[in-house]
């Protein structure tokens, strides 16, 4: 009897520890970022309600991180890049901030909004408190069509000079100008053209899904500057935020105002496949351990074409001073480093996706098909319980009612070691146009080995936090087969969840390396056709490429139930490439194939 009591006590303690795993001891993150994305009022006249985040800038100020995002009414602060707290500032522009510029110089954080009018630069020496002040009242006004929209303010410490870069257009280029520190950072002299897009030479700069839209001139936007080893890396987003191929590129120069040379390894941040697609328009910043990160804006587009989220990818400069960002398994769990890492692969947890297209049941489900080809969101949206695990943010489970007790169960079809979850809510006809104290998310997650006896693993009812993309890391793995979501509260009119993503590991054999891998450069050198032989049981494949055998920084993730061919349309004319492939499933990742060289 004593042994039974001790075992029961241990079991209770174990489950109790799991309840608090989501708020203590967390060491990993998962894109999209787990923050309280604010409701956007831009389409209030069309009665379109949605949460969104875009154009992120993270500033490392005095060892603390500050995140600024388009139309958020404030900003976020964090000490570890994991736990983000929302800050309501003392001063904020009347029209809210779009695509902000922010930087930290010595003891001061500076902030500036996108504008076509005269607007002030704000500053703070205590941004953690929300205390913002006017640094100047306004910059001199530029021609309205020029901006500055999507600005970036850069301070060159070596030169003790200030610069601004800006531009968001499919007509105008990225511009640059020196700023006059002696005159409150007003423009010093004339602005001039920095860079333009050349989609006829750079395949990734073409517009549309997989760069296939020939009717729209692509956009250049989101300027950002970094200095490394005496070189200036002027970064930009292209070809547009509305599709899966939104990416970041860079030009390199030896002077802050150029001339700049196109980097042959572009794009530097690219994520066209997987759950969260798109990696464009962000920033590149350094953490407290000296590691670089590149921010991006993945695409959701359920209610509005510009409905988006925020992502964060490990980045850096290689031995050849080439700037890169690693989006391989970019929306799977990754460790947050506690030191300087040597390779971005060190950060991948190896926790695999266990839930892809696994069967689901629900307390209720409404099946709809909404072919929304109009101006609001040109994508087909579907609802039904079968979409809860399809890794598509534009399809979702829609419950009959938004009430406590509604549930959904995922059958993983065998027992796995479950280590983390991500619950992604969808704003389907939410009816909310402003975030307030009534906007929060609460739910519970249970596990079961037999689908009958359930144990509580996660309880998010102890606090009123809004977590539309809630990521929960368990303190200890749980070996189980069935996962149950139990609803408690969302503020929206409807309970809709695009995906419940389950991460962990199986104990089977890792998949074989795909065979018959081939790459053919097309007559249009911007394109290459990739093919391979499918691996039995593979959940998906990563097509990897770059400008060297050891520089396979680009990744296109393809699901195992999709065709075993892919046309990569993101190449630069006149540049040689090396391609490889790897397969993955619930048990792990195969060895990378032999590298294929294409001229």
Q: What is the dihedral sign for C-alpha 174, 180, 185, 190?
A: negative
Answer whether residue 547 is part of any domain: yes
My answer on whether 493 and 585 are in the same domain is: no
pLDDT (tens digit, 9 = 90+) per residue, 523-560? 999 999 999 999 999 999 999 999 999 999 999 999 99
Q: Give residue 406's domain range.
A: 2-21+353-505
Q: Are residues 337 and 454 in the same domain?
A: no
Q: What stretches of 62-209 adopt beta strand conformation (E)? A: 64-68, 75-78, 85-87, 101-105, 108-112, 122-126, 131-134, 152-156, 161-166, 174-180, 186-195
Out of 480, 505, 530, pick the residue that ends a domain: 505
pLDDT at 93: 77
Does 63 map to a domain?
Answer: yes
CATH number for the domain that contains residue 498: 2.60.120.260
CA distance 590 to 517: 14
Specify the pLDDT at position 16.
35
| Whether 337 and 360 share a structural domain | no
Per-residue pLDDT at 426 exceeds 50:
yes
Tell me how far apart the alpha carbons of residues 62 and 129 are, in angstroms, rounded to a whole number.
Answer: 14
Q: Rounded CA gap, 328 and 522, in Å?
A: 25
Domain-located, residue 34: no
Whole-angstrom distance, CA of residue 580 vs CA of residue 555:
10
User: Does 539 reside within a domain?
Assistant: yes
369 & 459 share domain: yes
Closest to 252 in 3D by CA, of 278, 280, 279, 228? 228
| DSSP type of residue 461 | -
| CB atoms near residue 141 (< 10 Å) | 14
Other Cβ atoms less than 10 A from the Cβ of 357: the count is 15
The answer to the question of residue 476 being in a domain is: yes
Q: Do 84 and 107 meet the contact criterion of CB atoms below 8 Å apart?
A: no
pLDDT at 478: 98
* 200 class by beta-carbon count within 10 Å (0-12 exposed, 13-18 middle, 19+ buried): exposed
For 301-337, what is each residue's pLDDT tens digit?
998 889 999 999 999 999 999 999 999 999 999 999 9
Last residue of a domain, which of 291, 326, 350? 350
Cβ density class 291-300: b for 16+ within 10 Å, e for less: bbbbbbbbbb
**Would strands 379-383 and 395-398 be described as parallel, antiparallel, or unpaired?**
parallel
Alpha-carbon span 568 to 541, nearest angstrom: 14
Verify that 465 and 545 share a domain, yes or no: no
For residues 164 and 260, membership in a common domain is answered with yes
pLDDT at 184 over 70: yes
Can you read off the two tokens belonging to residue 406?
């509604």
For residue 64, the domain's CATH number is 2.115.10.20
| pLDDT for res 11 | 38
230 and 214 in one domain? yes
Place of tokens 């956009």: 219
Boundary (domain end) residue, out of 478, 505, 532: 505
Domain annotation covers residue 559: yes
For residue 546, the domain's CATH number is 2.60.40.10
Q: What is the mean pLDDT of residues 21-46?
A: 83
pTM: 0.94
Residues 422 and 534 in one domain: no
HSE-up of residue 155 (Cα within 13 Å, Cβ side)? 14
Percent of the chain with pLDDT strictly greater than 70: 94
Is 305 within a domain? no
What is the number of structural domains in the chain? Answer: 3
Are both 324 and 365 inside the same structural domain?
Answer: no
Q: Domain check: are 330 and 357 in the same one?
A: no
Do 151 and 198 sit in the same domain of this protein? Answer: yes
Q: In this structure, are strands 101-105 and 85-87 parallel, antiparallel, or unpaired?
A: unpaired
* Domain identity same for 16 and 64: no
**47 falls within a domain:** no
């Amino acid at each position: 009897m004593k042994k039974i009591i001790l075992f029961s006590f241990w079991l209770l303690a174990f489950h109790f520890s799991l309840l608090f795993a989501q708020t203590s001891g967390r060491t990993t993150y998962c894109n999209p970022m787990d923050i309280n994305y604010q409701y956007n009022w831009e389409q209030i006249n069309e009665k379109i309600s949605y949460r969104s985040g875009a154009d992120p800038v993270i500033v490392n100020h005095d060892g603390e991180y500050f995140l600024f995002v388009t139309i958020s009414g404030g900003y976020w602060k964090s000490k570890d890049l994991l736990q983000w707290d929302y800050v309501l500032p003392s001063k904020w522009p009347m029209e809210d901030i779009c695509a902000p510029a922010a930087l930290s110089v010595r003891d001061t954080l500076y902030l500036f909004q996108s504008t076509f009018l005269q607007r002030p630069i704000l500053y703070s020496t205590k941004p953690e408190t929300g205390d913002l002040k006017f640094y100047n009242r306004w910059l001199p006004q530029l021609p309205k069509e020029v901006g500055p929209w999507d600005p970036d303010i850069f301070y060159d410490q070596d030169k003790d000079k200030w610069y601004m870069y800006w531009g968001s257009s499919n007509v105008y280029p990225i511009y640059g100008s020196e700023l006059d520190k002696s005159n409150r950072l007003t423009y010093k002299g004339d602005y001039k053209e920095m860079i333009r897009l050349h989609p006829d030479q750079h395949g990734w700069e073409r517009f549309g899904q997989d760069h296939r839209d020939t009717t729209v001139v692509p956009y250049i936007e989101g300027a950002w500057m970094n200095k490394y080893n005496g070189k200036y890396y002027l970064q930009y987003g292209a070809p547009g935020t509305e599709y899966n191929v939104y990416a970041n590129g860079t030009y390199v120069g030896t002077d802050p105002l150029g001339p700049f040379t196109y980097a042959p390894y572009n794009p530097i941040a690219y994520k066209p496949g997987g759950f969260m697609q798109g990696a464009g328009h962000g920033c590149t910043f350094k953490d407290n351990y000296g590691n670089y990160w590149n921010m991006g804006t993945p695409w959701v587009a359920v209610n509005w074409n510009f409905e988006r989220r925020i992502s964060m990818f490990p980045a850096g400069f290689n031995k050849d001073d080439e700037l890169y960002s690693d989006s391989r398994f970019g929306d799977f769990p990754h460790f947050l480093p506690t030191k300087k890492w040597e390779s971005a692969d060190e950060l991948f947890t190896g926790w695999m996706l266990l839930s892809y297209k696994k069967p689901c049941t629900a307390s209720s489900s409404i099946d709809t098909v909404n072919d929304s080809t109009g101006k609001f969101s040109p994508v087909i949206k579907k609802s039904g319980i079968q979409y809860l695990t399809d890794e598509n943010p534009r399809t979702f489970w829609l419950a009959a009612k938004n009430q406590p007790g509604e549930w959904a169960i995922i059958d993983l079809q065998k027992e796995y070691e479950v280590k983390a979850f991500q619950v992604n809510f969808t704003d389907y006809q939410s009816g909310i146009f402003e975030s307030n104290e009534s906007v929060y998310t609460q739910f519970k997650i249970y596990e079961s080995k037999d689908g009958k006896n359930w144990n509580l693993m996660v309880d998010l009812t102890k606090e009123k936090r809004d977590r539309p993309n809630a990521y929960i890391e368990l303190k200890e793995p749980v070996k189980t087969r069935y996962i149950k979501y139990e609803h408690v509260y969302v503020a929206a009119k409807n309970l809709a969840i695009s995906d419940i993503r389950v991460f962990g590991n199986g104990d089977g054999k890792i998949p074989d390396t795909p065979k018959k891998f081939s790459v053919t450069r097309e007559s249009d050198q911007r394109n290459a056709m990739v093919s391979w032989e499918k691996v039995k049981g593979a959940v998906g494949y990563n097509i990897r490429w770059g400008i060297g055998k050891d520089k396979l920084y680009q990744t296109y993730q393809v699901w195992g139930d999709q065709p075993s061919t892919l046309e990569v349309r993101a190449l630069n004319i006149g540049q040689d490439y090396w391609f490889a492939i790897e397969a993955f499933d619930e048990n792990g990742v195969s060895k990378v194939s032999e590298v294929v060289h294409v001229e």
